[in-house]
Chain A
Amino acid sequence: MTQALIYALTGAVLFMLGVRATLLRESLLPRLLALNICGAGVFLIFVSLAYRGDSLPVDPVPHALVLTGLVVAISATALALALNRRLREMADE
C-alpha cells in the first residue's frame, strides 16, 4: 500500500508541476512539454491505484486505459506541433 501511495503522490506532484509550467510559460512548445508531463502524472495515479502489492494480481482495467491514453497523448502532441508549425509559417509570410 505504501508503494502505491508514494507513486500516487508523485503523480499528483507531477500533474501540478505540469499545470504550473503551463500557466507560467508563454510559448507553445514548453507548454506542450508541460501538458505531456501533466498526462504522465495522471497515468501514474491511475497505475498506482491499480497496484495492490507484489503478490496480488494487478487491475488490468486502468492499465488498458493508460495504454489508450498514451497513444491519444502522442496523437494530440503531433497535431499541436503541426498547428504550431503552420502558425509559424503564417507569421513568417
Chain B
Amino acid sequence: MMNLTLLPDLLLAGMLIGLAWAALSSDDLRRGVVLFIAFGLLLAIVWARLLAPDLALAEAAIGAGLSGALLLVALRDGSGGDKRAAKRSRLNRWLIDLFVLVMTCLIGWVLWLTIYAEPVERLAQLANAMLDRSGVSNPVTAVLLNYRAYDTLLELVVVLAAVLGVLVVGRERRGYREAGPVFYGLVHWLVPLLIVTAGYLLWVGAHAPGGAFQAGATLAAAGIVLRLAGYDAAGLPDGRLLRWLLVAGTGVFLLLGLGMNVSGGRFLQYPEAWSGSLILVIEVAATASIAAALVLAYRGGRTDGWLFMDNKDKSREVSS
C-alpha cells in the first residue's frame, strides 16, 4: 500500500540519515564538519516540509551557518590534530551497537504509539484561540514571547552564561588578512544586505515567520563576514558598550518583567494593550545580545583590553 506522495518524504529522511552517518563516521574532521553543514541545510528543508518555516529560517542561519562557522574556526585552531583512534574492544563495540539498536526500536515503538493514539486535548487549540490577545499574530512568536516568556528569558540567560564562559576561558583568535578586491566587493554588498535582512526578520516576526533568534543569527553572520574580511572587531563595539550589548537581552526582559510586577500585574504578564510593543522592545534587545554573543564566540573570547579597562589608575606609579 505504498503511497507515491510519500516518496519525497522517504527520500528526505533517507538523505538525512545518510548525511548524518557520513558526517559521524568520517575520519577527516574537516570533511565531517562540511557534511554536518550540509545536514543542517537539508534539515532546514525538512522543517519547511513539516510546516515550520520559523524553524527553517533559524536552522539555516544557526544550525547550518553559525554552528558550521564555529566548528570550522575551531578546526583552524588545530583541534583536528588529535588522531587517537577509539580503542574499544570488539565486545564493547558489539554491545554499543546492540544497545543502540534496542533503544532505536524502543523509541520508535513509543513514537508509533504516540502518533496513532487517540487525539488528546493539546495546547495548540489554546495557543491559537488566545492569539488575538497576545499582541502578535505569528503563533510561534506568541508562544515564545508571551505565553512562555519565562522559557525565553531563561534561554537568554543560558546564552549569556555561555558567552561569559567563553570570555573567561578564551582569548581572541588571530584575525584574518585584509580581503582581496573580489571578496571586498562581496563584503560591501553582503554585510548591508544581511543587516537589512536581520531588521526585516525582526520586524516581520510579529505576524509571519521570523523573530529575534533568526534576526540575531543573521546579524551575527554579518559580523562573521566582516571578520573574515579582515575587520578584527567584526563590527562589535569595544569595552563598556560591548558589555551592555551582551546583557541587553536578559536585562531588558527582566526589567520589563519586574516593571509589570510593580505596576500591579504578575511577572511577565503584559498589559494587553501594550503587549505588541513590549514584545518588539524585548525582541530588539534579544537580537542585539544574541548577535553579540555569537560573534564574540566566533572571535574566540576576550580581547587584550577586556579585563584591564578599569585599571588604568592601578598601573600608574604611586607618588608617596
Contacts and interface: CB of A to CB of B under 8 A. Distances in A.
Interface residues of A, number: 72
Contact of B104 (A6, A12, A51): A12
Contact of A20 (B52, B59, B96): B96
Q: Main secondary structure on chain A at its contact with chain B?
A: helix
Interface string A11-43: 111111111110111111110111011001001
B33 A33 contact: yes
A39 B85 CA distance: 24
Contacts of B23: 33, 37
A76 B23 CA distance: 20
A64 to B, nearest CB: 4
A84 B21 CA distance: 24
Nearest to B73: A81
Contacts of B297: 75, 78-79, 81-82
A26 to B, nearest CB: 5
Interface string B32-69: 11001001100100110011101100110011001100
Interface string A33-73: 11011001001110111110010011111011111101111
Given A64-B148, A82-B169, A5 B111 contact: yes
A85 B20 contact: no
Contacts of B46: 7, 44
Contacts of A84: 74, 79
Nearest to A27: B82
Nearest to B111: A8
Given A10-B16, A37-B24, A75-B159, A47 B47 contact: yes
Contact of A61 (B62, B97, B143): B143
A59 B124 contact: yes
Contacts of A72: 155, 158-159
A60 B139 CA distance: 6
A2 B4 CA distance: 12
B103 to A, nearest CB: 6
A68 to B, nearest CB: 5
Given A3-B9, A20-B97, A33-B71, 5 more contacts: A13-B104, A37-B24, A49-B115, A79-B162, A85-B300
10 contacts: A19-B100, A29-B29, A29-B74, A33-B23, A37-B20, A43-B55, A70-B58, A70-B213, A71-B155, A86-B170
Nearest 5 A-B pairs (CB), nearest first? A60-B139, A75-B162, A78-B297, A59-B124, A64-B143
